[in-house]
Amino acid sequence: MAVPATFWTRADVAAALSGQDAGALLRLLRQYTGASQHKIGAAIDMAQPHVSAIMSGKRQVTALRSWQRIADGLSMPNEPRRALGLAHSEAIYLRGQTRGNASMPKSGDLWSAPRTLQDIAEMTLKDLMKRRDALAVGGALFVGSTLTETLQHWLLPGSHLVGPHRGTLGESELQRIEAATAELRHWDDRWRMGIRRKAVVGQLSEVGELIETPQPPTVQSRLFVVMAELSKIIAAMSYDAGDHPTAQQYYTASLRAVHQAGREHRLYGVGVLADMSRQMLDVNRPQDALEISRLALDGARACPAPAPVLAILRTREGWSYARMGLTEAYHRTVAQAEDLLGEGTEDDLPTWARNFDHAELSGVVGARYRDLASQLDDRVAKREHARLSAVYIKQALRLRDPSKNRNRAFDLVGLGRTYLLLDEPEEAARNIREAASIERTLGSGRVRRRLNDWHKESAAYHRNPAVAEVRGELSNTLLAEQSNLKELT
C-alpha cells in the first residue's frame, strides 16, 4: 500500500507509534489517506472485521509479528520501525515507496514500438483519471541493477510498427504539434503543477493515439520524438514535485519513445539518461547515478556527441564521486568537464544541452565541493573545500543569465548552506532570505526541498538572531505550504 512519506513525519502518527497504539495508527491512516478498511486489511493481510475491531479499540495489537506485518504492509520507513522496536527493512525506502526484490518488466518486447505505445497509453490514462493520488502512476522507485540493466536495452536497434501506412497526418498539422511541444519545454519558467500538467499528459495521450494508426516512417519517427519530449516534460514536473516514482516512469517512457524514433535521435536519449542520473543523485543513490551516466557516455560516444554534452555527463559522474566521498576521482572528472566545456559552440548542441554553460558548471562544482566538505572530519580540509565551494558558487551567480531565476535560487541556497560550514551564520541567513524571496515567484518543489535542507542544517545556529529569524519565516511560509500541499495530495 502506498503511504505518503509525510504521513510518517506527523506528530500524531509518531505518538501512536511510540505508544504502540495500532488502533490510533490505522485511524490516522484512514483519516489522512482516505483508505478504506478493506484496503488497509488487504495491505496488512488482515480481514476487514479484524481491522475494524482494532480501529474501534476492541482488539489490541501486542504480538511483534503482527506489528511486523503492519509495518511491511504499509511500507513503513526505518525510523518509525525503530519506534516500534522492529528491525530495519531489507527493502529500500524512498519517498515512502519501496521496491525490494521486485523487478521491472523484462519481457523481450519491452522496447518494441507496440509495447511502448501500450505502456504510455496506460500511464497517461491512470494519470488523467487518478491524479489526486500523488503516487497513482509511479508506484515505486526502481533502483540498483533492476533499473540499470533495463536501461541498457536502449542502445539496441529499435522496431517499427507494422501494417499498411494508413495515416493521414499532414505536414502542417505535424509542425503544429512539434511547435506546441517546443513551447512546453520551458514550463518550469512559468508554470506550476495542476491543470497545466494534465494538459501535457493529455497531449501525450493524443499523440499516442495518432501513432497507433501506422504512419509513413518519417512521420512516425517525428511523432515518437514528440512523445519522448512530452514524456520528459511530465517527468521533470513530477521530479520537481518530489514524486520520484512517477518521474522515473515517464523518463523511462521518454527513453523508450526516442528509441523508436531511430538512431539519428539517440542524442536526445543521452539527455534523458543525464536527467535520470541527476534524479538518482537527488534520492542519494550515487552508485546508480554513476552507472546511468556511464551508460549515457557510451551512447554519447557512439553518436558522436559534441564536447559540451560530454561535459554535462562528466559533471554527473563527478557528482556521483563527490557523494561517495571519492575526492581524487571528483577532481579528475571536474577537470575533464571544464576542458570539454571550452570546446564547441551552442550551434553544435541539442536543445536540451544549451542551458549548460560556465555558470551552470560553476554552480554544480561549488555544490559538490560543499558535499565533500560536509563529509570530512579534518577541520582544515573541511574549511578549504567549503571555501572553494563559496568561490565557485559566487562565480556562478556572477555568470548567471538574470532570467534564470530557479538556477539563481539554487545557487543562493547552496551558498547559504556553505556559509554554515564556514561558520558564517549571518551570511548564510542573508543568502537564504534572498533565495526564499525568489522561490515565492517560482513554486518549485526542488528549491523548497533545498531550503528545507538548510533549515535542518541551521538548527545548530538557532540562537543566532539572523538565523532564527529566517528559520521562523521559512517554517511559517514556504515550508508550511509545502507540508500542506503534500498532505492534500
- The pLDDT assigned to 61 comes to 84
Cβ neighbourhood burial of 38 (10 Å; 0-12, 13-18, 19+): exposed
User: Within a domain: residue 486?
Assistant: yes
Whether residues 106 and 85 fall in one domain = no
Whether residues 143 and 241 fall in one domain = yes
- The pLDDT assigned to 366 comes to 95
User: Within a domain: residue 137?
Assistant: yes
Highest mean pLDDT among 178-187, 197-206, 461-470: 461-470
By the 8 A CB rule, do 73 and 44 touch?
yes
- The pLDDT assigned to 10 comes to 81
User: Within a domain: residue 108?
Assistant: yes
Whether residues 129 and 74 fall in one domain = no
Percent of the residues in the chain that have a pLDDT greater than 90, as a whole number = 37
Q: What is the mean pLDDT of residues 468-482?
A: 80
Per-residue pLDDT at 456 exceeds 70: yes
User: Within a domain: residue 36?
Assistant: yes
- The pLDDT assigned to 96 comes to 37
Distance CA 175, CA 269 (A): 22
C-alpha cell, 308: 559540451
User: Within a domain: residue 27?
Assistant: yes
Whether residues 85 and 140 fall in one domain = no
- The pLDDT assigned to 484 comes to 44
Per-residue pLDDT at 62 exceeds 70: yes
Which range has the worst mean pLDDT, 178-192, 332-346, 455-469?
178-192
For the chain, report the end-to-end CA distance as a whole number of angstroms.
15
Distance CA 243, CA 238 (A): 5
Q: What is the pTM for the complete model shown?
A: 0.73
Q: What is the mean pLDDT of residues 186-212?
A: 73
- The pLDDT assigned to 481 comes to 57
- The pLDDT assigned to 158 comes to 64
Domain containing residue 42: CATH number: 1.10.260
Whether residues 163 and 237 fall in one domain = yes
Q: What is the mean pLDDT of residues 63-91?
A: 76
Percent of the residues in the chain that have a pLDDT greater than 70, as a whole number = 85
By the 8 A CB rule, do 276 and 251 touch?
yes
Amino acid in position 294: R
Whether residues 219 and 108 fall in one domain = yes
Domain containing residue 375: CATH number: 1.25.40
Distance CA 147, CA 472 (A): 40
3-state SS, the chain, equals CCCCHHHHHCHHHHHHHHCCCHHHHHHHHHHHHCCCHHHHHHHHCCCHHHHHHHHHCCCCCCCHHHHHHHHHHCCCCHHHHHHHCCCCCCCCEECCEECCCCCCCCCCCCCCHHHHHHHHHHHHHHHHHHCCCCCCCCCCCCCCHHHHHHHHHHHCCCCCCCCCCCCCCCHHHHHHHHHHHHHHCCHHHHCCCCHHHHHHHHHHHHHHHHHHCCCCHHHHHHHHHHHHHHHHHHHHHHHHCCCHHHHHHHHHHHHHHHHHHCHHHHHHHHHHHHHHHHHHHHCCCHHHHHHHHHHHHHHHHHCCCCHHHHHHHHHHHHHHHHHCCCHHHHHHHHHHHHHHHCCCCHHHCCHHHCCCCHHHHHHHHHHHHHHHHHHCCCHHHHHHHHHHHHHHHHHHHHHCCCCCHHHHHHHHHHHHHHHHHCCCHHHHHHHHHHHHHHHCCCCCHHHHHHHHHHHHHHHHHCCCHHHHHHHHHHHHCHHHHHHHHHHHC
Whether residues 114 and 32 fall in one domain = no
C-alpha cell, 259: 528509441
C-alpha cell, 302: 557512439
Write the pLDDT tens digit of every residue in 267-276: 999 999 999 9
Write the pLDDT tens digit of every residue in 211-237: 887 778 888 899 999 999 999 999 998
Whether residues 120 and 85 fall in one domain = no
Q: What is the mean pLDDT of residues 228-256?
A: 92
- The pLDDT assigned to 487 comes to 38
User: Within a domain: residue 275?
Assistant: no
The candidate with the shortest Cα–Cα distance to 240, out of 196, 290, 287, 291, is: 196
- The pLDDT assigned to 163 comes to 57
Q: Considering the chain, what is the average pLDDT of its residues?
A: 83
Per-residue pLDDT at 102 exceeds 50: no
Distance CA 219, CA 57 (A): 63
Of the pLDDT bands very low, low, confident and very high (cuts 50, 70, 90), residue 391 is very high
Number of domains observed in the structure of the chain: 3
Whether residues 204 and 234 fall in one domain = yes
Distance CA 39, CA 35 (A): 6
Whether residues 373 and 463 fall in one domain = yes
Where do we find the cell 547559504? Answer: 416
- The pLDDT assigned to 479 comes to 65
Select from 206, 228, 261 the last residue of a domain.
261
Amino acid in position 108: G
Of the pLDDT bands very low, low, confident and very high (cuts 50, 70, 90), residue 384 is very high
User: Within a domain: residue 147?
Assistant: yes
Per-residue pLDDT at 66 exceeds 70: yes
Whether residues 117 and 213 fall in one domain = yes
Of the pLDDT bands very low, low, confident and very high (cuts 50, 70, 90), residue 191 is very low
Per-residue pLDDT at 296 exceeds 50: yes
- The pLDDT assigned to 435 comes to 94
Instruction: Measure Cα distances from 18 to 21, 81, 82, 473 in Å.
Output: 8, 10, 9, 30
Q: Which domain covers residue 391, as residue numbers?
A: 357-489
Whether residue 350 has a cis bond before it, omega within 30° of 0: no
Which range has the worst mean pLDDT, 2-11, 290-299, 311-320, 422-431?
2-11
By the 8 A CB rule, do 458 and 430 touch?
no
Phi/psi at 216 (nearest 5 deg)?
-55, 150
Select from 70, 90, 110 the last residue of a domain.
90
Distance CA 360, CA 408 (A): 10
Whether residues 57 and 201 fall in one domain = no
Per-residue pLDDT at 453 exceeds 70: yes
Task: Report the length, in residues, of the chain.
Answer: 489
Of the pLDDT bands very low, low, confident and very high (cuts 50, 70, 90), residue 210 is confident
Q: Higher-confidence residue: 348 or 349?
A: 349
- The pLDDT assigned to 337 comes to 92
- The pLDDT assigned to 482 comes to 52
Of the pLDDT bands very low, low, confident and very high (cuts 50, 70, 90), residue 373 is very high
**5-21 residues labelled b (16+ CB within 10 A) or e (exposed):** bbbbeeeebeebbeeeb
Q: What is the mean pLDDT of residues 236-259?
A: 91
Which range has the worst mean pLDDT, 128-132, 321-325, 418-422?
128-132
Instruction: Measure Cα distances from 198 to 2, 88, 207, 485 in Å.
Output: 22, 38, 14, 17
User: Within a domain: residue 416?
Assistant: yes
Where do we find the cell 507509534? Answer: 17
Write the pLDDT tens digit of every residue in 121-150: 888 888 877 544 444 444 578 888 888 888
Per-residue pLDDT at 1 exceeds 70: no
Per-residue pLDDT at 380 exceeds 90: yes
Amino acid in position 130: K
Select from 229, 261, 293 the last residue of a domain.
261
Q: What is the mean pLDDT of residues 54-64?
A: 84
